[in-house]
């Protein structure tokens, strides 16, 4: 069998464990705080920087409609000078802006949330045309349209307008009818971005800027990389085998509605104040309070989802909160508000690793516990420890793999002696074939595994590139070893 040797069994166990995890000394500047435990928050944030390999964190805390704390936490190895006005990618927190823009159009009577989206986007369709005809704006807002996550992840990269980010789904089949279940998909919010453009006659960026950002005084929120860079944005970091590496990735502005808005901790604090107060604080002319409240409410049906409109409803120690996480390939973010307590905060991180998503949530939950004077809770295995374990296992496996090269001839000679020269050729070639097959399977794994779930073949390379390269390294080693075995077998037999 391919998995006969112990080291291969260990390697495959490690590989599948990583995929299960996948799908599941510091400097800082400070402004005056009010009625919160700065020291305990400092300890929490500094520990998270170290243990979860966050290169930089900008934190803003709101209490009773006032920003009571802003801090920039930096890892000692981060040369970036983070400030409260440094633009950072907010990832899927962008969806809340898109939902708010849609609600503004609805309040003005320019769209109806329960009207099929083909009214506003006549060219929209999917393979099941009858389902396409009944998908409403509300379905998109709550991620209940039936469009799945793979649709967003398979979206084209080289696009220059929002309409082109969802045209590819016209030939896709989605099994679940609209309104039947929750399925998170970036495509839902790309479609909402197109609706905003088609109905308003403005670009998505112009509309959000003029109706939300400018009225709220959010002067450092941007919708394209070039503008953000002129105000201090710099690339974030990806983690390679536990080592943060700056990732200068191209940010495609056409995907701003679902995940590529740039903002600062100052601007996001203003935005959260507005939501905490149901639109009464900062500027009460953007939306009526009842419509801001609607943004925070989950759908009546299906009843199995708590996802509202760009916000997710949850509870922490029995207290209701609204929250949303955001992840790009090199940035991560988390926003949380508790209107009943007048509390909220924004966390913007200058690095990302999908294995750390649970740790970021645990950081946010524990920060909230500190704010409500409750005890913090131990979270999942921290990223630093995880990488120490993984790197150690990889080094051991790599050593065993290299050592096995030098034992090929000895093992083959032993096999020949054991078989008393009875059909040794077939057995030696069979052993050689197993190494080749193992190498081929390992090389194919990072491409085929995501495709089985409908994701693009390069999905793992975008989000866990270090482990993909490790897998490919072992793939090459196994193929080379297989070739070496064939050469050795031929030498011994002749």
Q: What is the DSSP string of 46-92?
A: HHHHHHTT-SEEEEEEEETTEEEEEEEEEETT------TT--EE-GG
Residue 32 Cα to chain centre, angstroms: 32
Distance CA 329, CA 88 (A): 13
d(CA 164, CA 344): 36
- 47 φ/ψ angles, rounded to the nearest 5 degrees: -65, -40
Confidence of residue 104 (pLDDT cuts 50, 70, 90): very high
Cα dist from 218 to 208, 235, 296, whole Å: 11, 22, 21
Question: What is the arithmetic mean of pLDDT over 263-268?
Answer: 98
Is the model's pLDDT at 114 over the cut of 60?
yes
* Residue, of 8 and 402, whose pLDDT is higher: 402
Q: How confident is the model at residue 405 (pLDDT cuts 50, 70, 90)?
A: confident
Q: Are 481 and 408 in contact (CB under 8 A)?
A: yes
Say whether pLDDT at 83 is over 60. Answer: yes
Residue 475 in contact with residue 481, Cβ under 8 Å?
Answer: no
pLDDT at 422: 56
> Which two tokens mark 291?
């419509």
What's the pLDDT score for residue 376?
93
Question: To which residue do tokens 């294995």 refer?
Answer: 355
Q: How does pLDDT run across 12-29, given as a tens digit for each residue? A: 445 555 544 444 433 333
CA distance 10 to 3: 9
pLDDT digits (tens, 9 = 90+) for 121-169: 999 999 999 999 999 999 999 999 999 998 998 889 889 899 999 999 9
Contacts of 10 (CB under 8 A, 6+ apart): 393, 397
Determine how β-strand 66-75 pairs with β-strand 243-246: unpaired
For the record, the structure tokens of 471 come out as 């897998």
pLDDT at 487: 84
Tell me which of 48-52, 79-83, 479-483 is least confident: 79-83
Which of 55, 24, 386, 416 is closest to 246 using CA atoms? 55
The pLDDT of 77-101, averaged and rounded, is 92
Give the per-residue pLDDT at 215.
Answer: 96
The residues that bridge with 345 in the sheet, in sequence order, are 61, 336
Cα 342 to Cα 368: distance, rounded to the nearest angstrom: 12
Could you read off the pLDDT of 306-320 as tens digits, one per residue? 999 999 999 999 999
pLDDT at 4 over 50: no
Residue 53: HSE in the Cβ half-sphere, 13 Å Cα cutoff: 28
Over residues 408-421, mean pLDDT: 71
Q: What would the mean pLDDT of 227-236 be, rounded to a whole number?
A: 94
Tell me the per-residue pLDDT of 206-224, one tens digit each, with 9 for 90 and over: 999 999 999 999 999 999 9
- With a cut of 90, say whether residue 34 has pLDDT above it: no
Reported as a pLDDT band with limits 50, 70 and 90, residue 423 is low
What is the mean predicted confidence (pLDDT) over 218-238? Answer: 95
User: Which pLDDT score, from 0 to 100, does residue 421 have?
Assistant: 55
Would you give the end-to-end CA distance of the chain in angstroms?
A: 26
Q: Give the chain's mean pLDDT.
A: 88
Q: Considering only 134-138, 292-296, 488-492, which range has the smallest mean pLDDT?
A: 488-492
Between 429 and 280, residue with greater pLDDT:
280
Q: What is the pLDDT of residue 8?
A: 53
Q: Count Cα atoms within 13 angstroms, Cβ side, for 340.
A: 9
Percent over 70 (pLDDT), the chain: 91
pLDDT tens digits, one per residue of 443-475: 999 999 888 877 888 888 888 888 899 999 999
- Cα Rg of the chain, angstroms: 26
pLDDT of residue 9: 47
What's the whole-number mean pLDDT along residues 265-281? 95
- Percentage, residues of the chain above pLDDT 90: 63
- Residues 50-60 have a mean pLDDT of 93
More confident residue, 81 or 243: 243
So what's the pLDDT on residue 46?
93
> Quick one: tokens of 413?
């000679």
């Amino acid at each position: 069998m391919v998995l006969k040797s112990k080291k291969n069994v260990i390697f495959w166990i490690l590989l599948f464990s990583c995929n299960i995890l996948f799908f599941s000394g510091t400097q800082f500047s400070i402004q005056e705080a009010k009625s919160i435990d700065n020291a305990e928050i400092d300890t929490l944030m500094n520990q998270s920087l170290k243990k979860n390999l966050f290169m930089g964190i900008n934190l803003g805390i709101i209490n009773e409609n006032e920003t009571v704390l802003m801090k920039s936490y930096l890892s000692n190895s981060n040369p970036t000078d983070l400030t409260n006005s440094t633009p950072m990618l907010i990832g899927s927190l962008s969806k809340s802006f898109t939902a708010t823009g849609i609600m503004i159009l609805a309040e003005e009577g320019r769209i109806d949330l329960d009207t099929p989206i083909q009214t506003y986007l006549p060219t929209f369709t999917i393979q099941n045309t009858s389902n396409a005809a009944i998908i409403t704006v509300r379905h998109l807002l709550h991620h209940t349209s039936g469009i799945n996550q793979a649709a967003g992840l398979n979206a084209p990269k080289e696009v220059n307008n929002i309409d082109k980010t969802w045209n590819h789904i016209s030939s896709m089949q989605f099994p679940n009818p609209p309104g039947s279940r929750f399925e998170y998909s970036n495509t839902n919010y790309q479609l909402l971005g197109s609706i905003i453009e088609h109905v308003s006659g403005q670009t998505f960026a112009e509309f959000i800027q003029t109706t939300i950002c400018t009225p709220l005084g959010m002067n450092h929120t941007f919708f394209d990389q070039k503008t953000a860079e002129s105000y201090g944005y710099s690339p974030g970091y990806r983690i390679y085998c536990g080592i943060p590496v700056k990732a200068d990735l191209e940010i495609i502005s056409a995907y701003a509605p679902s995940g590529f808005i740039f903002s600062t901790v100052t601007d996001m604090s203003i935005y959260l104040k507005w939501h905490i107060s149901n639109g009464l604080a900062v500027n009460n002319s953007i939306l009526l309070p009842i419509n801001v409240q609607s943004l925070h409410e989950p759908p009546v049906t299906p009843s199995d989802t708590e996802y509202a409109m760009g916000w997710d409803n949850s509870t922490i120690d029995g207290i209701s909160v609204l929250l949303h996480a955001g992840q790009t390939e090199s940035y991560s973010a988390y926003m949380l508000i508790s209107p009943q307590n007048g509390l909220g905060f924004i966390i913007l991180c200058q690095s990302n690793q999908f294995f750390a998503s649970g740790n970021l949530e645990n950081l946010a939950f524990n920060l909230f516990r500190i704010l409500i004077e409750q005890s913090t809770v131990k979270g999942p295995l921290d990223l630093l420890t995880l990488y120490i374990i993984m790197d150690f296992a990889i080094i051991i496996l790599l050593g065993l793999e290299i050592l096995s090269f030098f034992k090929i001839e000895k093992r083959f000679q032993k096999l020949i002696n054991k078989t008393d020269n009875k059909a040794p050729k077939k057995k030696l070639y069979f052993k050689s074939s197993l190494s080749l097959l193992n190498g081929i399977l390992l090389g194919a794994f990072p491409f085929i595994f995501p495709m089985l779930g409908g994701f693009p073949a390069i999905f793992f390379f975008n989000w866990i590139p270090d482990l993909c390269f490790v897998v490919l390294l072992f793939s090459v080693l196994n193929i080379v070893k297989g070739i070496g075995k064939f050469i050795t077998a031929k030498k011994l037999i002749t």
